[in-house]
Amino acid sequence: MKIVIDARISGTSTGRYIDKLIEHLHTLQPKHQVIILTKAEQLEFINKIAPSFAVIETSFKEFSFDEQIGLMRQIRGLEPDLVHFGMVQQPIMYHGRVVTTMHDLTTVRFKNPSKNPVVFWIKQRVYAQVNKRAARKSAAILTGSQFVKDDIVAFAGVNPDKVTVTHESADQIPDVPEVVVGLDGTPFIMYVGRPMTHKNLPRLIKAYAELKKTRPELKLVLAGKKDVLYEQIERQAEADGVKDVVFTGFVSEGQLRWLYEHCAAYIFPSLSEGFGLPGLEAMLHGAPVVSSNATCLPEIYGDAAHYFDPLDVNDIATKIDEVLSDNSLRQDLITKGKAQAAKYSWQRMAEQTLAVYQKILGE
């Protein structure tokens, strides 16, 4: 049997999932012929992590006309028995046997203030239909949490039996910890990631402003590559007079490890997640996690996080303050966090995925 895996998003934050799947699927040495489609800049990387898989360049961009026609022709030319799309973006008219990984429905539900509102509204309606179409035409769907599975079943009207939950996992950062200039010896709480609307950073900053009234030495670190949205958030914080919010911009792996290992708490204020990998990664590195209680997060973090209502600024501030004030609670979260992170495994995820392939192929 011939299995094609679409890895066009390899090397991105979202693409971490597909990279880990390929790496660990390779260790299982499936008896099938596995072909990886990826962009030119990722060919060397994929060949390195999966040397016995065939790796073929593809240049078709997600959400493009070329994707709908060119990628479909490329895939058909390979004559696969099964295609695994690691994202919803795929040729919607391809009718071969397909597995689709649907990470969440966040983009369907939240606006992007950096985009033209009319254009984005239209694109969002189209994207909603693409999600439904992908879900309904796929022989199987993979998701990272039970919450997302239930959400997809309700949204697309598909049989829950075709949706399999395959949890992701966190990895220990191997790079040597690298001090972030200006933070050594300073108490800080942190968030790392993109500043999209559903990440709820404005409310986190307002909660931090409340904490500053009794903790003037505390800083809030927001780590992530600066873009239009981060610039908007930074300008608003300055306009509101909120001091000591540190926008680091891009941080290296070594710097990220240092931040996790030295923060007073990792804060995850998100309104919607498909799995919540950053919080799990923070737990793995010994950071106490104070998290939103929205969507899948309580499912993934269990009793290893201290939860707040992400719509309530006062509750966010209160729950953070409780962790900062109560050393017993803090140590309990650190211990439970490491144990919780250890429950997840990329290898198990790959095994579950291979089992889905085999079921569809009638093995």
**φ, ψ dihedrals at 202, nearest 5°:** -60, -40
pTM score, whole prediction: 0.94
| Domains along the sequence of the chain with CATH | 2-169+345-360 (3.40.50.2000), 188-341 (3.40.50.2000)
Q: How confident is the model at residue 107 (pLDDT cuts 50, 70, 90)?
A: confident
Asked whether 39 and 64 are in contact (CB, 8 A), the reply is no
Residue range 283-333, pLDDT digits in tens:
999 999 999 999 999 999 999 999 999 999 999 999 999 999 999 999 999
Closest CA to 147 of 272, 255, 260, 54: 272
Asked whether 38 and 8 are in contact (CB, 8 A), the reply is yes
Average pLDDT on 61-65 reads 85
Could you give the maximum distance between any two Cα atoms of the chain, in Å?
A: 65
Asked whether 337 and 289 are in contact (CB, 8 A), the reply is yes
C-alpha distances out from residue 268 to 133, 203, 278, 298, 299, Å? 32, 11, 8, 12, 14
Q: How confident is the model at residue 224 (pLDDT cuts 50, 70, 90)?
A: very high
Of all residues in the chain, the percent with pLDDT exceeding 70 is 100
Q: Give the Cα separation of 94 and 107 in Å (integer).
A: 23
Residue range 4-59, pLDDT digits in tens:
999 999 998 889 999 999 999 999 999 999 999 999 999 999 999 999 999 999 99
